[in-house]
Amino acid sequence: TFTPESVSATGRVHLADSNVGRLAITQAMVDGTYDRRAGELRLLQIDAPDLALEAKGPISLAPDGGASNVEYKADLKRLETLAAFANVPLSGSLQLQGRITGNGSALSTNGALNASNIKYGDTSVLSAKSDYAVRLPELSPARAEVGVSATATLLAIGGRELTEANV
């Protein structure tokens, strides 16, 4: 049985000129350690024509002691490429920057999001900026607490056009 306690790994993996489904990857690397719910992500880096991702920092999924402090940046240049994995008609671009903190008692991420030219079916947004906070008590997605503060400009939703919306 696969559980967070049963995983132990140390090493570095490097990919070059690879494909994962429709996603072309120019270069990817993960370097770190993980053992019994704790580890160090020395570097996670993915460079691809449609996305760039970088993350690093300590990870703790134990319910007591230790603390995660993972910084991440993601530039999703063509959402349609990633959305194709889930067969979702989504397009546009998205940039995220944030930090994952906490441990198995409550893991949290806080950050900022910038989006442009987002389109999903008949809904579109020219640009959006958001600050977000997500908390997962006991690593349970069903108990997730989400907070968002966002501003979007030039929206088309359900046949209506809006110049600006704030949430």
Mapping DSSP onto H, E and C, the string for the chain reads CCCCCCCEEEEEEEEEEEEECCEEEEEEEEEEEEECCEEEEEEEEEECCCEEEEEEEEEECCCCCCCEEEEEEEEECCHHHHHHHHCCCEEEEEEEEEEEEEECCEEEEEEEEEEEEEEECCEEEEEEEEEEEEEEECCCHHHCEEEEEEEEEEEEECCEEEEEEEC
159 φ, ψ (degrees, to nearest 5): 80, 0
- 10 compared with 3, residue with greater pLDDT: 10
- Three-state secondary structure string covering 84-111: HHHCCCEEEEEEEEEEEEEECCEEEEEE
Tokens of 113: 């999001």
Would you give the distance in Å from CA 50 to the centre of its chain?
A: 15
Give the integer Cα–Cα distance in Å for 111 and 100. Answer: 9
Tokens of 52: 């760039």
Q: What value does the CA radius of gyration of the chain take, rounded to a whole number of Å?
A: 18
Categorize the per-residue pLDDT at 3 as very low, low, confident or very high, splitting at 50, 70 and 90: confident
Which of 17-26, 30-39, 58-67: highest mean pLDDT? 30-39
In this structure, the dihedral spanned by the alpha carbons of residues 62, 66, 68 and 69, taken in order and rounded to 10 degrees, is 180
- 71 compared with 7, residue with greater pLDDT: 71
Tokens of 167: 């949430």
Categorize the per-residue pLDDT at 116 as very low, low, confident or very high, splitting at 50, 70 and 90: very high
Residues 37-95: tens digit of each pLDDT: 999 999 999 999 999 999 999 999 998 878 999 999 999 999 999 898 889 999 999 99
Categorize the per-residue pLDDT at 167 as very low, low, confident or very high, splitting at 50, 70 and 90: confident
The mean pLDDT of 91-117, rounded to a whole number, is 97
pLDDT at 85: 87
